[in-house]
Structure 1
Amino acid sequence: MNYKKLIVDSGKRMAGSGLTVETWGNISVRDPETGLVYLTPSAMLYDTIVEDDVVVCTLDGKIVEGTRKPTIETEMHLSVYRNRAEVNAVIHTHPLYSMVYAAQGKDIPLIIDEAAQIMGDVCRCTEYALPGSQELADNCVKALGEKANSCLIHSHGAVCVGENMEGAFKVAKVLEVTSQIYYMIEATGGKPVGISDENIAAMQDFVKNSYGQGK
């Protein structure tokens, strides 16, 4: 697997998906065999990044490849990997509807089946912390907990994780769609009915063990 190419391609994908603007956000992937983490460089437009710009480091933050300064949120990415062994991709996005709730410090509940199946748990919003700080990294790890695949960073953006990059992107898209639906429900004076914990568990079991080919 060419993880540097994956980072480059994923950056272009994120920029073209409406999940962020300009140089905001960041992306990483972990090689499960070596434990090395590949990160986007800081403050570079995603359509200009090439493989030589990708920064490679160990889980304790030691840079082993690359001459660029890594993303300011490097410690946030590494903290997630250290606390969630099953996670091998992290995407930090700045999507519009998710930001509506991040700016209010509000959680996004699992109000639609897709969210119940993919997001793992409620998307919780962190307490506020300065960008690039250890506090922000710690708050993100706390909000994700042991099973959530997304969280909101207060007044800042969203973090989505997955076993691989495709999984992380799926979470990012479902989170933004769920946030948009939640916003539209509230904007029309409504309130989501919600899905029972029993049904959420049943759907998550179905996706894990039955949904798709070869299961």
Structure 2
Amino acid sequence: MPEEKVQAVINTGREIVSSGLVAGTWGNISVRLYDETLLITPSGLPYTELEADDLVVVNLDGEVVKGRLKPSSETRMHTAIYRQRQDVMGIVHTHSPYASVFAVTHKCLPPVMEEMAMLLGGTVQVAPYQPAGSAELAAAAVEALADRSAVFLANHGMVGVGPSLEEALLVCQIVEKGALVYLLSQLTGTPQLIEEDQVRELRRNYLEYYGQRKV
């Protein structure tokens, strides 16, 4: 297993705990490997205790390729997203408080800030409720995610995806911030939305021009 990917999963696990995106052992993290397999967190192990040997390699059918522990109970959802989205290289599933408000009320989150439009690619939709770990939840998540970077899971939590595990984590952080801003803004007035054509332009500019490109 590539050492940098192993370390990225371990670091992400510590970050989602320290930033309050999960409590206990809830949530899960994965990163795509180079050979159509993925590295995923084990089921029920605290993120602060994760070591390299605890991580599990599974193929895109969810079969364990390497590892001594049972993989995350949401392995079906991770593999379904990777099969559907070739651009996705990392997935983070969290149960953060403000995102969960939208998950339990079955409300979508529009991109009310530029960073949301740039990173998320549009409104965060809600996947209809299905039991955790089920094939039905995996299918619902893929459909509601579509070509965007985040999706709420009804009465459950949220999922962030990205071209790297670092960006998938950032997606979760931006959704949590955006959810808080949207909720607080309703106390002082009516949130003003960014027009759809402007959202598309912001997203396009982010994908094409933002940040430092490797040469």
TM-score range, shorter chain: over 0.9
Partner SS for 2:105: coil
> How far did 1:190 drift?
2.7
Q: Distance in 1 between matches of 2:209 and 2:37?
A: 32
Per the alignment, residue 14 of structure 1 pairs with 16
| Within-5 A mapping of 1:100-111 | 100-111=101-112
Q: Does 1:167 align with 2:150?
A: no
Per the alignment, residue 80 of structure 1 pairs with 81
Partner SS for 1:21: coil
Q: Distance in 1 between matches of 2:14 and 2:88?
A: 22
> How far did 1:185 drift?
1.8
Partner SS for 1:67: coil
Q: Distance in 2 between matches of 1:213 and 1:5?
A: 23
Per the alignment, residue 48 of structure 2 pairs with 47
Q: Cα RMSD (Å) of the superposition?
A: 1.3
Per the alignment, residue 194 of structure 2 pairs with 195
Q: Distance in 1 between matches of 2:41 and 2:137?
A: 18
Q: Distance in 2 between matches of 1:140 and 1:133?
A: 11
Amino acid at match of 1:14: I
Structure 2 residue runs of 5 or longer lacking an equivalent are none
Query: Going by fraction, where is helix more abundant, 1 or 2?
Result: 2
Which string of whole-angstrom CA distances, capped at 9 and with x for unpartnered residues, describes residues 125-182 of structure 1?
Answer: 111111111111111001101x210000001100000010111011111111110011
Partner SS for 2:65: strand
Structure 1 residue runs of 5 or longer lacking an equivalent are none
Q: Does structure 1 retain, via aligned residues, the 8 Å contact 2:14–2:47?
A: yes
| Within-5 A mapping of 1:87-98 | 87-98=88-99
Q: Distance in 2 between matches of 1:159 and 1:84?
A: 14
User: Between Structure 1 and Structure 2, how many residues are aligned?
Assistant: 212
- TM-score normalised over the length of structure 2: 0.95
> How far did 1:189 drift?
5.8
Q: Distance in 2 between matches of 1:35 and 1:164?
A: 15
Which string of whole-angstrom CA distances, capped at 9 and with x for unpartnered residues, describes residues 30-87 of structure 1?
Answer: 01x2111101000111011111110101111121110111111000000000000000
Per the alignment, residue 177 of structure 2 pairs with 177
Q: Distance in 1 between matches of 2:79 and 2:70?
A: 15
> How far did 1:212 drift?
2.3
Partner SS for 1:176: helix
> How far did 1:214 drift?
4.2
Q: What's the % identity of the aligned pairs? A: 34
Partner SS for 1:141: helix
Per the alignment, residue 36 of structure 1 pairs with 37
Amino acid at match of 1:66: G
Q: Does structure 1 retain, via aligned residues, the 8 Å contact 2:121–2:199?
A: no
Partner SS for 2:47: coil
- TM-score normalised over the length of structure 1: 0.95
Q: Distance in 2 between matches of 1:111 and 1:176?
A: 13
Q: Distance in 1 between matches of 2:189 and 2:99?
A: 18
